[in-house]
Amino acid sequence: MGRVVIALAAVLAMALTGMGWWATRNLVGGMTVSQALGLDAPRSTDGSMNILLIGLDSRKDQDGNDLPDDILDQLHAGGSDDGGYNTNTLILAHVGTDNHVVAFSIPRDDYVPVDGITGYDHIKIKQAYGLAKAQKEQKLTDSGESDQQTLEREGRETGRAATLRAVRNLTGVPIDYFAEVNLAGFYDVTNALGGVQVCLNAPVQDDYSGADFPAGPKRLDAAQALAFVRQRHGLDNGDLDRTHRQQAFLASVLHQLAQVGTFADVNKMSALIDVARKDIVLSSGWGKDQFRRVGEIAGDGNLTFTTLPVLGYDNVDGQAVNIIDAAAIKAQVAAAFNQDIAPAPTATSKPSSSIEVINAGSTEGLAAEISRALASRGFTAGQVRNVADGEPTATAVAYGPGAGADASTAAKLLGIAAAPTVDPTLAANTVRVTLGAEYVAGAAPSPTSGPASGLGSGSTDASEGSDVPPDAGKPINGGSVPCVN
């Protein structure tokens, strides 16, 4: 994530410094513009914007040429053929009509269905770009095309289209714009910014990424910054912990961009624009209004970053993959993007999940009352009990495989604001509701009550959630320099 948005710093610079439409037009005119979204792609219609940020792990430039050895040495990222064309960073950011942003990191190893790539029905989502690119280039070569720049350009466009399609299929929402950058862009723009401030809760040392930092705040140069956002060895949850670290890095970058005087240096500004032209690919459609809104967002830090949930891990054909609940992901994204796709059950559409209710407060009989009320709405009544020693006591809804939509329905009926979270220890089609001391139940409805009346007026701290190991951590709010592991 860090390399994606720090490369967009050049674009943000344009907006934050008020250089106007003429300068913006000339910046875009010098950049690579992609048509991969397609004119017939679904778009947002309510004034909001969905932007996909793509970070390629490629060690090649826009024409497919190897990066110079001296740059590769500083990147501490292997040789020119390492990484391929995997999209190791994917972030889907929703810019609301009020300019509040919710950004979801998509774990690179999520195992997803795929269409349009011959020979595959499921892949890791990071592979869509490279597989589609390679197949397009082979098809062109077979038809007689031999120009390397043409093969690279057409192959990358096909790879971008495949990535966009995979993300749309996974999240269920349209994509209006995208931006893409590779490792060289990350390095170049970090240099132009003069480094980025980060903060670690504990010291780290990792030979693979080159990360070697003490605990506490530290300003990182370009090579150190890349090591910081690439490290996954030595982190408790591997890739997902790395994603959380990247989110903190992004928050720090935006905080820095918003500081007075960040772009007062003409030489620094010129360097950022040069990097944007060399290293960034934008989808068609970016213009003055889009840059203005992105600039306003960077200026006020009105962002929240989180990570799409993972149920667990598996090995498929020798590859480590993330197992996900696609229906739950669509429900979570839609809820965060202010779309209602989890209506209360009706007489013809009832929940298919079993419901467990745990009383973690002091109101005697509350769990049994809520269990009966949910059963009247179609849930299958399951275990009812008091909280056990060591279990979480905050009000929350968790679910096992296949129960994401029902978990959202239960949370809505109970008036629980915190988004349901996956729990790999729960059985399939099982929802668990924990009622904390802060939960205040309303009058439980009778079996004939209308579905919109709700079951309670509960409240919960949205920062609390189940302690599921695969989760990358609590959401990070933008505009600051948070400390991470």
Classify the C-alpha dihedral 7-12-17-18 as positive or negative: positive
pLDDT band at 371 (very low <50, low <70, confident <90, very high): confident
**pLDDT > 90? residue 466:** no
- Of the pLDDT bands very low, low, confident and very high (cuts 50, 70, 90), residue 14 is very low
Q: Could you report how far apart the first and last alpha carbons of the chain are, in Å?
A: 16
Q: 28 near 152, Cβ under 8 Å?
A: no
> 138 falls in which pLDDT band (50, 70, 90)?
very high
> In this structure, are residues 32 and 59 in contact, taking their beta carbons and an 8 Å threshold?
no
pLDDT recorded at residue 252: 74
Residue 166 has pLDDT above 50, yes or no: yes
Distance (Å, whole) CA 8 – CA 189: 9
How far, in whole angstroms, is CA 470 from its chain's centroid?
Answer: 14
SS3 433: strand
Predicted model pTM: 0.66
The model's pLDDT over 344-356, given as tens digits with 9 standing for 90+, comes to 333 335 678 899 9
Residue 221: other Cβ atoms inside 10 A: 14
* Domain boundaries 344-462, corresponding CATH code: 3.30.70.2390
Most confident of 120-129, 178-187, 253-262, 300-309: 120-129
Q: How far is CA 341 from CA 4, 222, 456, in A?
A: 30, 43, 21
Q: How far apart are CA 83 and CA 373, in angstroms?
A: 53
Exposure of 414 in the CB half-sphere (CA atoms within 13 A) = 35
Instruction: Give the domain ranges of the chain.
Output: 2-308, 344-462
Reply yes or no on whether the pLDDT at 358 is more than 90: yes
- 297/38 Cα distance (integer angstroms): 26
The pLDDT tens digits for 196-215 are 888 888 888 888 888 888 88
Mean pLDDT of the chain, nearest integer = 75
- Residue 435 and residue 358 in contact, taking contact as beta carbons nearer than 8 Å: yes
Across 277-379, where does the E strand assignment appear? 280-283, 303-307, 312-316, 319-323, 354-359
Q: Beta-carbon neighbour count of residue 366 at 10 Å?
A: 21
More confident residue, 155 or 101: 155
Q: Between the ranges 168-172, 197-201, 218-222, 363-367, where is the mean pLDDT highest?
A: 168-172
pLDDT in tens, 105-131: 899 999 999 988 999 989 999 999 999
CA 413, 414, 417, 422 dihedral sign is negative
pLDDT > 50? residue 289: yes
**Residue 239: its pLDDT value, please?**
73
Mean pLDDT of 428-453: 60
- CA gap 222, 181 in Å, rounded: 15
Give the pLDDT confidence score for residue 106 in this predicted structure.
Answer: 93
When pLDDT is cut at 50, 70 and 90, the band that residue 88 belongs to is confident
Per-residue confidence (pLDDT) for residue 84, from 0 to 100: 74
**Higher per-residue confidence, 183 vs 137:** 137
CB within 8 Å of 450: residues ≥ 6 apart: none
Tokens of 70: 């001296």
Going from the C-alpha of 226 to that of each of 199, 244, 401, the distances in angstroms are: 15, 15, 35
Query: In the predicted model, is pLDDT for residue 134 greater than 90?
Result: yes
Q: Measured between alpha carbons, how far is 412 from 426 in angstroms, rounded to an integer?
A: 20
Output the six-digit token pair for 471.
Answer: 């989760």
Lookup: tokens for 226: 């890349």
- Whole-number Cα distances in Å, 178 to 24, 26, 94, 293, 303: 17, 19, 12, 15, 18
CA dist 273 to 30, 149, 263, Å?
9, 24, 11
pLDDT of residue 450: 34
Residue 179 pLDDT greater than 80, yes or no: yes
Separation between Cα atoms, residue 161 and residue 480, nearest integer Å: 34
d(C-alpha 32, C-alpha 156), whole Å: 12
Higher local confidence (pLDDT), 13 or 336: 336
The pLDDT assigned to 2 comes to 42
Residue 458 scores a pLDDT above 60 = no
Q: Which residue has the tokens 């003409």?
A: 266
Q: What per-residue confidence (pLDDT) applies to 200?
A: 83
Q: How many CB atoms within 10 Å of residue 107?
A: 23
Rg (C-alpha) for the chain, rounded Å, is 24
Q: Residue 398 corresponds to which tokens in the numbers above?
A: 């968790």
Residues written for the chain: 485
Q: What average pLDDT does range 298-316 have in this prediction?
A: 76
Above pLDDT 70, what percent of the chain? Answer: 68
| pLDDT at res. 25 | 52
The one-letter code for the residue type at 439 is Y
Least confident stretch, 164-168, 177-181, 225-229, 466-470? 466-470
Residue 151 reports pLDDT greater than 70: yes
Sort strands 101-105 and 303-307 into parallel, antiparallel or unpaired. Answer: parallel
191 vs 29: CA distance, rounded Å = 23
- The angle formed by the CA atoms of residues 21, 23 and 24, to the nearest 5 degrees, is 60
Which range has highest mean pLDDT (37-41, 68-72, 111-115, 469-473)?
111-115
Q: DSSP state, 253?
A: H
Mean pLDDT of 158-183: 91
Backbone angles phi, psi at 453, to 5 degrees: -75, -20
Fold of 2-308: Aminopeptidase (3.40.630)
Band (pLDDT 50/70/90 cuts) for residue 402 is confident
pLDDT for residue 258: 59
Mean pLDDT calculated for residue range 461-467: 30
Per-residue confidence (pLDDT) for residue 354, from 0 to 100: 93
Query: What pLDDT is stored for residue 32 in this prediction?
Result: 81
Bridge partners, residue 111, by sequence: 124
Query: What share of the chain has pLDDT > 90, as a percent?
Result: 21
Same fold across 2-308 and 344-462: no
Residue 407: closest CA among 393, 392, 417, 397: 397
Beta-carbon contacts of 254 under 8 Å, excluding residues fewer than 6 positions away, are: 5, 12, 297, 298, 301, 303, 478, 479
Give the pLDDT mean for 5-19: 45
Return the structure tokens found at 354: 């079993």
Q: What is the pLDDT of residues 24-43, one digit of tens each?
A: 555 555 678 899 988 767 88
